[in-house]
């Protein structure tokens, strides 16, 4: 009987030191960073057959298309209803680089829905939809960064 009581006391003391589900969830969300994935985007306005900057026409997995002057290689992450698009300077055409240098604002005229597979890979349970608006273009040494609101 004493062994059973000691065993029960030990089990209870161990259980008391384990985190609750809420504490465990809190710990993992503060440690885990959103996935950052490599994508290619084609910038342009869909109503002009994606040939007029600015805008976003296509998000896809693939390689940067040097023949398309509005194609860009990016690293993209999604957190707190914001999509961060990091356009790599080494993965853009000179004409797009010049447009991004000349403009401090990226004007997204239309909503854009990111494809299902890419939304999932970015960690979203639902499709990510970019919200129209004006977004600052941040010029870093190796990339341009856009933080686009989503819903």
Q: pLDDT tens digits for 79-108?
A: 999 999 999 999 999 999 999 999 999 999
Instruction: Describe the chain by its helix, strand, coil percentages, rounded to 5.
Output: 30, 35, 35
Backbone angles phi, psi at 5, to 5 degrees: -65, -45
Token pair 């979203």 in the structure block, residue: 124
Q: Quote the pTM value.
A: 0.75
Q: What is the pLDDT of residue 2?
A: 60
Q: What is the largest CA-CA distance in the chain?
A: 83
Q: Which two tokens stand for residue 66?
A: 């040097």
How far is residue 39's CA from residue 118's CA, in Å, rounded to a whole number? Answer: 9
Query: Can you give the residue ranges of every domain in the chain?
Result: 1-32, 34-149
Q: Assess whether pLDDT exceeds 90 at residue 66.
A: no
pLDDT in tens, 97-149: 999 999 999 999 989 999 999 999 999 999 999 999 999 999 999 999 999 99
Q: What is the pLDDT of residue 113?
A: 94
35: which DSSP letter? Answer: P
Q: What is the pLDDT of residue 88?
A: 95
By C-alpha distance, which of 145, 111, 114 is closest to 131? 111
Query: What is the pLDDT of the chain when averaged over all its residues?
Result: 85
């Amino acid at each position: 009987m004493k062994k059973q009581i000691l065993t029960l006391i030990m089990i209870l003391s161990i259980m008391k030191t384990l985190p609750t589900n809420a504490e465990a969830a809190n710990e993992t969300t503060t440690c885990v960073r959103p996935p950052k994935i490599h994508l290619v985007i084609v910038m342009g306005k869909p109503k002009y057959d994606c040939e007029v900057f600015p805008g976003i026409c296509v998000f896809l997995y693939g390689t940067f298309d040097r023949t398309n002057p509005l194609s860009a290689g990016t690293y993209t992450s999604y957190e707190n209803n914001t999509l961060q698009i990091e356009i790599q300077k080494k993965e853009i055409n000179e004409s797009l680089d010049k447009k991004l240098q000349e403009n401090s604002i990226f004007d997204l005229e239309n909503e854009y829905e990111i494809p299902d597979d890419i939304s999932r890979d970015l960690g979203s349970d639902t499709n990510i939809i970019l919200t129209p608006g004006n977004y600052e273009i941040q010029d870093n040494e190796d990339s341009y960064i856009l933080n686009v609101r989503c819903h």
